[in-house]
Structure 1
Amino acid sequence: MRVFFDRELDTVATFWRVYRRDGIMLAFTSHDRDLTFNGIAHRAAPGMVPAAIRLTADLNEDSAEVQGALSHATIREKDLAAGLFDHAAIEIGAVDWELLDSHVIYSGRLGRIEDDRRSFTAELRSAKRQLDEDLVPRTSPTCRALFCGPGCGVSAAAVTTTQSLAGIDLDRNTILFDGIDPSDFVDGQLRFLDGPQSGVSFGIISADVNGLVLDRQLVDGTPIGTRVELREGCDHTLTTCASRFANAVNFRGEPFLPGNDLLTRYGQPSG
């Protein structure tokens, strides 16, 4: 394997690949011309460089950061704002721009992205971040299971429907559909199948007479009639689990367990 930085002058450039959750992969290199290796074309983007990469042999999380100018055509400000790069998988490595030998140094996922309209800074989270997750479930009055996920038992296909957009209000950040009960989709998810935000997933935070209120900003140019995939939501209460989904047997919570305030209650005289 090629040993990098073993000489005073080295023909080494940085490369990084971004795997977005909508299936799009972007690849760049800090070299001044495009490089193709491992069957992947890497676009020249010398303005984007890793600011710092720290790798450890222990269980502490590896950290990295990448900075760059918003100048490349494939990284657009509106895509960052729309969340297309949120939690995308990423690889960073070194490549010999003459021999095209390469080695991945860091892999993880994109975390927080800060954009000041001139440049952006992206926090990278390594796979060691999963070691910080609490694997022991804690008691809670609501269900701990991810809706339609492991332990829930409700089929995602049974609560997912495809609808055509009947109305959109950019000022209220709401969308409207005909023939559905909006309240069923609160805390649910929405994904555009067409239009400028195709493939982008939204959370539904509330519903009213104006439609469904989304958790991220809609963009202009989405036409009426755009196909949208809607998945119902769940408030994780036992009542909803039993009455709407007939799924109380899989409820992962303790709704009748006394809380910590039981320890501070005073006894009350009878009568």
Structure 2
Amino acid sequence: MSDALTEHLAAGVSNVCRLWTVERRDRLVLGFTDHDCDLEVEGVLHRAGSGLSASALQQASGLSVDNSEAVGALSDAAITEADLAAGRYDGAAVRIWLANWRAPGQRREIFRGTLGEIIRRGGAFRSELRGLAEPLNQPVGFAYTQGCSAVLGDSRCGFDQATPGYLCEVAAETVEDGRVFSFAALPGFEPRWFELGRLEVAGGAAAGLSAMVKSDRQTAMGRRIELWQSIRAPVAAGDMLRIFAGCDKRAGTCRMKFANFLNFRGFPFLPGEDWLAAYPRADRPATGGSLLQPARGRV
């Protein structure tokens, strides 16, 4: 808490309000306040009349997760039902301030975290506020698996997904339920090239939304790309799409498709669970040699 705000609160008569700064994953930053006038803090205009409010914050000094919720009304000028349904606020970063509305520079940050589960009902919404300790509830570390544990394009993988030949920028042609995209052709890309990849909408009402590719098939009618989940906003013919090549996490794919085997993060020669239950067999002599080499005389 700033010294000026401490002195202001100690005076007994205070002019304080709450400010909310919400940053979505698409980098759009919105500001809200429960004061009756707009206030600007850190270059963000916090608008009044948004209907956003928060219940009492419950915070602790240990590793327990902060617990609170935000409640607000849906409006075309602030948080819309379409944006909530599209998932644009999922995991959005939130900062809450206690400020002197006469001098917004006198303020204290009382919460920092993210939006959790969002519930819409009767023209309003309610969302969990998850504190900075929330990630401590998630398991961390790496598992020893035959497949690669990296995510294509991340810092451990190191592959540039914008490399020519691995990214297709094309306009949508036929869209079914926001999940199945059909094209007359995708020249230069083999069938199944984008399977397990990502489709991102670059234009139109769904700009910025993405989903993972379930299948990529060449049919008699053309190229058919199906997603695991529907894009949660309307995608119209002509909207620009970006489709990224997919990876099935296998060593051969990493070496042959992406030429990135030096960054492969799996253990392809790790024995499977069936090896633990193996027993001697006459047609499979135990030679005492390496598990990675076939027995002598066998292919």
TM category (shorter chain) comes to 0.7 to 0.9
Residue 157 of structure 1 corresponds to 162
Q: Which of 231, 253, 257 is 1:217 aligned to?
A: 231
Equivalent-residue separation in structure 2 for 1:50 and 1:205 (angstroms): 39
Cα contact 1:82–1:216 (8 A) shared by 2: no
TM-score (norm. length: structure 1): 0.85
- Which of 187-196 and 49-58 deviates more? 49-58
1:53-132 mapped onto 2 (5 Å cutoff): 53-71=57-75, 73-100=77-104, 101-132=106-137
**DSSP-derived class of the 1:53 partner:** coil
Aligned to 2:290: none
Q: How many residues align?
A: 268
**Which amino acid letter does the alignment assign opposite residue 250 of structure 1?**
N
Alignment match, 2:19: 15
Distance change in 2, residues 1:121/1:7 (3 Å): farther
Instruction: For residue 54 of structure 1, give the secondary structure of its aligned residue in structure 2.
Output: coil
Tell me the CA shift for residue 43 of structure 1: 1.2
Cα distance in 2, alignment partners of residues 5 and 181 from structure 1:
67
In structure 2, stretches of 5+ residues that fail to align are: 284-299
Query: 1:203/1:235 Cα in 2 relative to 1: closer, same or farther (>3 Å)?
Result: same
Using the alignment, how far apart are the partners of 1:173 and 1:117 within structure 2? 28
Among candidates 218, 223, 239, match of residue 226 of structure 1: 239
Contact 2:99 2:107 in 1 (8 A): yes
Instruction: Give CA deviations for 1:193-230 in whole Å, capped at 9, x if unaligned.
Output: 2211122223223334473223233533x442222222
With over 3 angstroms needed to count, the CA separation of the structure-2 counterparts of 1:168 and 1:253, relative to structure 1, is same
CA distance in 2, matches of 1:257, 1:134: 23
Structure 1 residue ranges without an equivalent (≥5): none
What is residue 206 of structure 1 aligned with on the other side? 215
- Residue 204 (structure 2) aligns with: 195
Percent sequence identity over aligned pairs = 31
Using a 3 Å threshold, how does the CA distance of structure 1 residues 182 and 30 change in structure 2: closer, same or farther?
Answer: farther
Write out per-residue CA displacement over residues 124-159 of structure 1, whole angstroms, 9 at most, x where no aligned residue. Answer: 333333444555322112111111111213212212
Partner of 1:37: 41
Distance 1:127 1:262 in 2: 43
Aligned equivalents of 1:56 and 1:128: distance in 2?
10
Which range is displaced more, 157-166 or 17-26? Answer: 157-166
Deviates more, 1:19-28 or 1:37-46: 37-46
Q: Is the 8 A contact 1:31 1:46 kept in 2?
A: no
How large is the Cα RMSD of the aligned pairs? 2.6
Q: Distance in 2 between matches of 1:181 and 1:266?
A: 40
Q: Report the alpha carbon displacement of residue 25 of structure 1 after superposing the two structures with TM.
A: 1.0
SS in 2 for 1:139: coil
Q: Which residue of 2 aligns with 1:186?
A: 195
